[in-house]
Amino acid sequence: MVKPLKGFSFLFRAIRLRLILAPIDKKSPFAGEMAEFGWTSIKLSDSCIKQLKSIYERFDQNIHFIEQDKACLSEISEIVTPIVKSYIGPECYIDGMTWLVTTEELARTRGASNWHTDNVGNRIRLFICIEGNGSQPTLIIPSSDRIPTTMTWLLQTLKETIRWFGFPYKAEFHNEQKLDHQTGKAYLWDSQLFHRGGYETGIGDRILLSMEFSNPEKHQLAKGPIGTKPNLRFSFPNNFFEITSFQKILDADRMVDKDQRVEYTDLTQ
C-alpha cells in the first residue's frame, strides 16, 4: 500500500535533522577503534555472557541490575567506555539498554529489515548476542566518512524514503558488512551508517542486549528515537559507582536515588 503522507513526512524530518544535528556531530573526535569504518567487534568472557543470560531470565519491562551482575557490567564498561568516548567525545553518555528478542516468526515482519539510518546523526549501538546462530545478522555499509557527505546523505535518504512510501528496500550491496550475531559475539557500530536487519534468513530465535550511546545535546533537538526512552531505562545498586569505567559513561542529569539504588531515566523529557 502506497503511503505518500508518511513518505513526505519522513523526508522533511530527515532534512531537518541533518541541518540541526550535523553541527553537533562535527565536534566529535572520531578517534579510536571505530574511527576507520564506524564499527568494531569486542570480545567478552564466557562468564560475562553466562551472567547476561541470567539477567535476561529475570527481565521485566526494564533491566534492574543486582549485586551478582557487578563483575559482568564492569567487564563490559571497561571495554566499551574508552571506545565510545574516543569516538563521540567526552560528552558521550549511555542513553539506556534493553533486550532485542526476535523469534523466527517475528523476523518476517521487522520494518528494520529495509535499508535505513536511524536519522539521529552519530549514535553508537552495542549489540551483545546471548542467543543466536548467525542467521539474523545486522548488515551495514562501512564508510570512511564519519559524517556522510551531502551527496551520500541525499542518496541514502532517498533510498530510505522508498520504505516510508510503502515499498520494501532490501537491495544487496557489494560492500555490505555482516555483523554476525552468534552467541557470545558483540559489536559496537554507528547507527549513522546505512544498515538493515537481515531477518529474512532467520532460522531460530535471536536475543541481543542492546545499549545506546550519544551526546545528550541532541535529545531535545531530535525529538525522536534518541535519549533514555521508557523502554531503555535501567537501575543498579549504589555501589556500582565503584566501577570507574561505568560511572564515566553515566549522565548525572539522568540519575535518581531510590532506596539504595539508582534509577537511570531521562529527566529532560
Q: What is the pLDDT of residues 8-54, one digit of tens each?
A: 999 999 999 999 999 999 999 999 999 999 999 999 999 999 999 99
pLDDT reported for residue 204: 85
pLDDT of residue 36: 95
Regions in the chain scoring below 70 on pLDDT: 1-2, 106-112, 267-269
What is the model's pLDDT at position 268?
A: 53
Tell me, what amino acid is at 131? E
pLDDT value of residue 108: 59
| pLDDT value, residue 106 | 65
d(CA 107, CA 113): 9
Distance, CA of 224 to CA of 17 (rounded, Å): 10
pLDDT score at 269: 47
Sign of CA pseudo-dihedral 34, 39, 45, 48: positive
Residue 211's CB: how many other CB atoms inside 10 A? 24
Give the start-to-end residue ranges of the domains of the chain: 4-264
Q: What is the pLDDT of residue 4?
A: 80
Count of positions (residues) in the chain: 269
Fold category of 4-264 in CATH: Jelly Rolls (2.60.120)
